[in-house]
Structure 1
Amino acid sequence: MTSMMEVRLQAQEDEITLLKSSLADALRKLRLHDQLLPLLKQQLIRSNRNSSGNDKTSNLGRKTLSRRKSIKMFIRGRPITMYIPSNIQNYEDLKMEPPFERLELDWVYGYRGRDCRDNLYFLPSGEAVFFIACVVVLYHINNRTQRHYDKHTDCVRCLTLHPDKVRMASGQTAGVDKDGKPLHPCVHIWDSTTLVTLQQIGLGAFQRGVGCVAFSFDSGAFLCVIDDSNEHMLSVWDCNKGTRHAEVKNTNEAVFCVEFNSNDSTNIITCGKSHVYFWTLSAGQFTKKQGIFGKYKKPKFIQCFVFSLTGDVLTGDSEGNILTWGKSTFQIMRQTRAHEGSVFTLCSLQGGAVLSGGGKDRKIIRWSADLAPERECEIPENYGAVRTISDVDGEELLVGTTRNAILRGTFSDGFVAIVQGHMDEMWGLATHPSQNIFITCGHDRQVCLWKTEEHKLDWCITLEYGLCADFCPNGSVVSVGLSTGRWMVLDLLTREVVSESIDGNEQLSVMRYSPDGSFLAVGSHDNFIYIYNVTESGRRYTRFGKCNGHSSFITHLDWSKDGKYIMSNSGDYEILYWDVAAGCKLLRNRFESKDREWASYTCVLGFHVMGVWLEGSDGTDINALCRSHSERMVAVADDFCKVHLFQYPCPKPKAPSHKYEGHGSHVTNVCFTHSDSHLLSMGGKDTCILQWRVIRGGPGDSREKLASTSTSSPEPATS
């Protein structure tokens, strides 16, 4: 009942916002009508005078008067008028083509350790294999290069390595397409050398997603899968045929791990919340034995398990203990105190030694085959807890952490991060005006500076929820807008806060410097745009004025090339123009801004980008867009996990685009690097940053060839 009332309240608030916007729009049109009425009278007088001239002049006059001056698109039923620039003589004859450029995935920043387990492996090729969003990354730890398996259509949730150390299996979650139709979860079996998909398992057989996968130990002929349905269905599949061999309901509780018995592939073990189950598969039927805790305290969670040399099962639990289970009795033979807090992972080494990783104490402990502690170390606090461990050579280890980092090191020398990422939803993204670096910020309170050529994190500091950012044109400082209305200016070299201010008490959604760096515009959810004078090379800020006229929160804004005007969008789909030089004056006649040139184009509503919208869009389907510095293309971040590349300008419906997948959540932002060599895209809840290489057309390429692989945006309603 409460949820229904919340939905109704939200709907009423949306309607109120639209009514306010419609009222404001009507008042503007009335004022515009009063201003244009004398001009229309004069034009009518001139037209009557010309009608007495020759037919040639008369016909020319009629053509001029009948030429189309504007076009309308509709979002949520609201008409938005777009004025056609003077240099476009025949709008109807414009032809939209896909851009000559294409995108190619260059680098993936991040790792999903926050909420996934057993998702880090080391291959004989020297590559670490892990996943984030919809991409499985193969990272060569010495050469520092990446390859990508990118055939999944939604977020990858689990990963396992075949006994041959070449084939891999990765399972994904379910999803929905842009029309709300379900996308079924499945498991891909693929070759890590060629990145070729060998088999697609269980399409349409799993519910919600695939949570755990494991190959049989003998020859890897079978694959065990646990899905995310209420019963966490346990199924075994023939890897070569892709057919299901057996299936059974597992448990209504969470399941964390599944594995075939290393000595007998007819036996399977699962563990999770308050349980350890021992399964036997015979003639296509499962029988289950529940682990008996007896005199030992039953832990809330059994997080992980491995097999000892003797075939016993070692489990790690939320009480910090390693329990040894008899291979045939299904009872606890021994309890070993291991960690303060949970044991998150166990890893078997050659010779029978075992590694354990702790949650609360962040320790890695090496145990002998009979569980005597031999060595231990502690990973740095800023990386979080130990999520998973992968053995490289018996001495060197790879460690995945709960704060989405991968560490490399040894007990003797300690550990350093080779992969790092954000830990929560991201929104703020900006690229440097002259260097190959970019800044990100988000809900994890981290502001991070990345290097695109070295593919690494340069530095990271903790502030508040960061939602937007922009570099000063001189490149020495960056401004970051926060969720509280505060904004800070950081020195790139010292990372110190050189200026700080606050505008209102609502979140800031956009920061944008004027082209010469003399002004900073701050767009807020309180419906205002605050303008600041910028001096001392971006280190001093004084309030210049405030743009007051939007009837909803500011979403995007851009400066004109001469630095005198601003174009802005708001949450109720307004397009307004402001004369900053004249004291932040609202320009009532939007027609007068149709020929203005813009230093950047990030506003999602405007004549030049009208063609990127889909039919029936509710205004939130596009989160961000960015025009390239060459003004040849525009990248779009949509709400359906996709990145699109359109030609620029893109003013007509049904504009074709190149579409790119990889994100597993709404894409919150996109931005080109200063030379247009790369595009950065940022996922929301997938905590993933994708770096795309821009491939420019060359000999043998053609727009027709590119169009064969492009997608078209359905036509929005126009009039």
Structure 2
Amino acid sequence: MDGFAGSLDDSISAASTSDVQDRLSSLELRVQQQEDEITVLKAALADVLRRLTLSEDQTASMRKSSPGKGQPALREAYSLSCITNGSPMTRKPMHSSALSVARKETLASAAKSYGLKELKNVKRGATIERSQSSTWEGSEENRNKLLRAASTSKLISKHKNAEKSKEPIVSQAQSSRRGAYSQEGDMIKMFMRGRPITMYIPSDVTNYDEIKSELPSEKLKLEWVYGYRGRDCRSNVYLLPTGEIVYFVASVVVLYNVEERTQRHYLGHTDCVKCLAVHPDKIKIATGQIAGVDKDGRPLQPHVRVWDSVSLQTLQIIGLGTFERGVGSLAFSKADSGTHLCVVDDSNEHMLTVWEWQRKSKIAEIKSTNEAVLAADFHPTDPNAIVTCGKSHVFFWTWNGNSLARKQGIFGKYEKPKFVQCLAFLENGDVLTGDSGGIMLIWARTTVESTQGKGPKGVYQISKQIKAHDGSVFTLCQMRNGMLLTGGGKDRKIILWDHDLNPEREIEVPDQFGAIRAVAEGKGDQFLIGTSRNFILRGTFNDGFQVEVQGHTEELWGLATHPSKDLFLSCAQDRQVCLWNSVDHTLEWSKILDEPGHCADFHPSGVVVAIGTHTGRWFVLDAETKDLVSIHTDGNEQLSVMRYSPGGDYLAVGSHDNFVYIYTVSENGRKYSRQGKCTGHSSYITHLDWSPDTKYIMSNSGDYEILYWDIQNGCKLIRNRSECRDMEWYTYTCVLGFHVFGVWPEGSDGTDINALCRSYSKKVVAVADDFCKVHLFQYPISKPKAPSHVYSAHSSHVTNVSFTHSDGHLISTGGKDTSIIQWRVAEKAPLPLNDSSLEQNAPLSPSAGPTENSPVS
């Protein structure tokens, strides 16, 4: 009887324990849901404050800058919607709270933490800080005031006073690398790699010494970024609670609001952004970049930037001098509310470091493995546990103090994969991995305890294997409701799995978009997909996919702007030809050519566009229907420039076979007949321009020649170049010539400047250089060491620049970064007298959709 009673007691005790565990699990889930709701509220509040501030600033700006009677109203508003490039600045670390559980902070403290602190003046910092961040510094008194504050207006006023920005970088004469020159009578000699280049001074220049080089009054403002880096990255697309999609391309991190068709840009990085992580509060972002080299050969160190996605202010820069080659993976901790950050670099040893990022303090560091590391993440409930995976391995890490201990996952009876591509955590704390064989493995932690300080608590062992995809499992996405999304590489499938990891639904991404590289949860039942062909798709299982972002996938050189519409065309080595709308920021059409495209030009009527390729063939397409109009071949080498004459009666084709081919054009650009060939260059053609009367051509070549051609008299070379000193040019894209030689850096090998374009107004010249920069000079640039405004956004050599037909925008293309960047051209408006509320160096306008593209007075 006693035995029966004892057994009954044990059963009751076991049932009671089970009931307690169930209740605890239920409470944990409920707390997590409440924390998620609070996170969304925090983000929404911060975004509302930003928008209110922007609205008030625009109203105040227009009111204070209202002109007198008879003057047009100044409609250009000042805002902080996009951080423009500027002078180096650093940010002081923020004081962190002693509380271990930051999730208990109130909405008031959340508002205080995200950019509503008083602005303090700071000294210029390290040159690595390129974004125009202001320094935020809050005292304990300010914190208490904000906690007591019930007025939104007080918060907004504090935020508004802090939103200030710096000027673009200015390339100045005394600090530049501009070249060696000499004046000899009526000509200027410029030396490039020791070779003299002679340029004759125009007759109307009576005193060359009196010519001054000044900065242009016009400036550039980054307005839109076309493209996404998906081809060689992973897990780099996320939806923020504000409704913005965050992703990156080149050195720009883009925050794109799909519904409002607006972009904001974080511009703090100095080279290619390679990875991205979102803080548990869904407001702070961490992004890592690769190493680079500036134009003077100085190294640009790889590092991680932590920044605020609402204010776009840099919060911390981590790892300068620590990481090698680049940052491959990074993740915020979750169990301690994002206090720590783990980073894996791209060195041979793939160093794993753990940082207390707010204090910029490295806590632990250890060699990870000599094999590729593809993902790293913190355990959601164990603050001291990290998991990494990559080529043929899964590592489970624990850090105690400043030491990291590693346990390797043992595959045992299961086939060891070539690559473990991704990882995620299940609701019960188990680890889920996806590998190159299409398998998902569940790693459950045992209760075995290791010796104190000698290693991780418990050991992870495979408890279940699931065949998920044909080909690799490339990405895993744990959803808010506990279900799972997986993305396949080869089969291009998105599969939804229930809580027991049974497949519920699936959908296949169409082949033209490429393989899946990133999956993120979207609004409602939507999800976001990043692909290997640089698409970002938004889709549902019921309705399929919609393209939100797209771009080129291989090196990009060809660019042409429409002569009368807000359109521009790009072509690249991926054989894609794309026609873009610069107002709506959308793709009008795209077409795949038989060969890689390299250069393009619109007929002056805008009806057709000519595209040159790498093989000597060139195509003429109908600009509206993209139908093929004509095909021609000139030689078998790369075509470097296509240029229609001002009236559209001729087409000049510059080739790498050293010739310029001249065609007569009729039937409004639909019929072509070769008229002649310009023979005389000793190297490949790089650039050419027509005279306004269509009689002459000026051309540059790879060996720095400037030659002039008489087209009307049989394409003859004009041997006495002094006769051409007073010639006018309808366009100016040649990079060598008296009117533009001041753009060249000292000691150049002739490849430092890739492209040049004079505005239609003939007031400014835009330059694309080999050091990822876009320059804006005042035209003409006929003096050495001319100053310029310098802008950064590309992370590769800038291959081309072109003004739109109204001079309202400049388009620039990146080579290896495959990005297209649209800049707004704006002349700096004078400030009203006795008005100190508007800083002279404030940003010019928000990066907005077409409704906000107001003309600049």
TM norm structure 2: 0.74
**1:410 is matched with which residue?**
540
Alignment correspondent of 1:446: 576
2:797 aligned partner? 666
Aligned pairs, number: 642
Q: Which runs of 5+ in 1 are unaligned?
A: 1-65, 710-719
Deviation, structure 1 residue 708: 14
Per-residue deviation at 1:263?
1.1
The question of 1:281 aligning with 2:399 is answered yes
Shift of 1:528: 0.3
Pairwise CA distance, 1:392: 1.5
Where do 1:430-445 residues align within 5 Å?
A: 430-445=560-575
Q: What's 1:256 paired with?
A: 374
Q: Does structure 1 retain, via aligned residues, the 8 Å contact 2:755–2:767?
A: yes
Corresponding letter in the other structure for 1:337: K
Identify the match of residue 90 of structure 1 among 207, 217, 223.
207
- For residues 303-318 of structure 1, what are the structure 2 equivalents within 5 Å? 303-318=421-436
Please give the alpha-carbon distance, in whole angstroms, between the structure 2 residues aligned to 1:350 and 1:98: 53
1:237 paired with 2:368, answer no
Match for 1:164 among 281, 287, 298?
281
Taking the aligned partners of 2:524 and 2:515, their CA distance within structure 1 comes to 22
Task: Identify the residue that residue 610 of structure 1 maps to in structure 2.
Answer: 741
Q: How much has 1:628 moved relative to structure 2?
A: 0.4
Q: CA–CA distance in 2 between the matches of 1:682 and 1:495?
A: 22
**Matched AA of 1:347:** C
In structure 2, what is the equivalent of residue 55 of structure 1? none
Instruction: Measure the CA separation in 1 of the matches of 2:356 and 2:199.
Output: 58
Alignment of 1:194 with 2:311, yes or no, is: yes
* Equivalent residue for 2:551, pick from 404, 414, 421: 421
| C-alpha RMSD over aligned residues | 1.6
The residue number in structure 2 matching 1:132 is 249
Change (3 A) 1:556 1:268: same
For each residue in 1:490-547, what CA deviation from the matched residue of structure 2 results, as whole angstroms up to 9, or x when unmatched?
Answer: 0012211101100001010000000000000000000000000000110000010000
User: Aligned partners of 2:541 and 2:630: how far apart in 1?
Assistant: 43
Offset at 1:68? 3.0
Correspondences of 1:506-655 after superposition (within 5 Å): 506-655=637-786
CA positional deviation for 1:323: 1.0
Does the CA-based 8 Å contact 1:350-1:394 persist in structure 2? Answer: no
From 515, 518, 525, the equivalent of 1:388 is 518
Helix, strand or coil: the match of 2:734? coil
User: Per the alignment, in what secondary structure is the counterpart of residue 331 of structure 1?
Assistant: strand
Q: Which residue of 2 is the match for residue 46 of structure 1?
A: none
Q: For 1:192-225, what per-residue CA distance to the aligned partner results, in whole angstroms no more than 9, with x for missing partners?
A: 0100011111111111111111000021000001
**d(CA) in 2 for partners of 1:394, 1:498:** 46
The equivalences for 1:288-367 within 5 A come to 288-328=406-446, 329-367=459-497
Alpha-carbon offset, residue 706 of structure 1: 9.2
Equivalent residues of 2:831, 2:840 under 8 A apart: no
Are 1:178 and 2:280 counterparts?
no
State whether residues 98 and 706 of structure 1, in contact with CA within 8 Å, keep that contact through their aligned partners in structure 2.
no
What SS does structure 2 have at the residue aligned with 1:341?
coil
State the one-letter code of the partner of 2:681: H
Q: Which has the higher contact order (CA 8 A, sep 6+)?
A: 2
Q: 1:109 aligns with which of 219, 226, 235?
A: 226
Q: Contact between 2:616 and 2:636, CA under 8 Å: does it hold in 1? A: yes
> What is the DSSP-based 3-state SS (H/G/I as helix, E as strand, rest coil) of the residue aligned with 1:115?
coil
Q: What amino acid sits opposite 1:275 in the alignment?
A: H
The match for 2:507 is: 377
The verdict on how the C-alpha distance between 1:188 and 1:431 changes in structure 2, with shifts beyond 3 A counting, is same
Separation in 1, partners of 2:738, 2:729: 12
**Cα offset, 1:457, TM superposition:** 1.3
User: Residue 468 of structure 1 aligns to which amino acid in structure 2?
Assistant: C
Residues 469 and 480, structure 1, Cα contact 8 Å, conserved in 2: yes
Q: Deviations over 1:355-397 (max 9, x none)?
A: 0001111110000111100000011111101111111235111
CA displacement 1:644-676 (0-9 Å, x = unmatched): 000011010010000000100000000000000
Task: Please list the CA deviations of residues 227-273 of structure 1 after superposition, one character each: whole Å capped at 9, or x if unmatched.
Answer: 11110100000121011010000011111100001110100000111
Please give the per-residue CA displacement for 1:260-315, whole angstroms capped at 9, x wherever unaligned. 01110100000111110000101211110111111111111111010001111111
Matched with 2:613 is: 482
The Cα shift of 1:447 comes to 0.6
Q: Normalised by the size of structure 1, how large is the TM-score?
A: 0.88
Identity %: 64
Asked if structure 2 preserves the Cα contact closer than 8 Å seen for 1:101 and 1:697, the reply is: yes
Residue identity in the other structure for 2:400: S
CA distance in 2, matches of 1:79, 1:68: 15
Amino acid in the other structure paired with 1:682? T
- How far apart in 2 are the matches of 1:707 and 1:334? 60
Equivalent residue for 2:339?
221
Alpha-carbon distance in structure 2 between the residues aligned to 1:233 and 1:701: 55
Whole-angstrom CA distance in 1 between matches of 2:322 and 2:519: 31
Residue 216 of structure 2 aligns to which amino acid in structure 1?
P
Whether the aligned pair in 2 keeps the contact of 1:97 and 1:707 (CA below 8 Å) is: no
Secondary structure of 1:326's aligned partner? strand
Deviation at 1:635, TM superposition (A): 0.4
Residue 697 (structure 1) shift = 2.4
Q: Which whole-Å CA distance do the structure 2 matches of 1:486 and 1:384 have between them?
A: 28
Gaps spanning 5+ residues in structure 2: where? 1-182, 447-458, 834-838, 844-857
Change (3 A) 1:169 1:707: closer
1:154 alignment partner in structure 2: 271
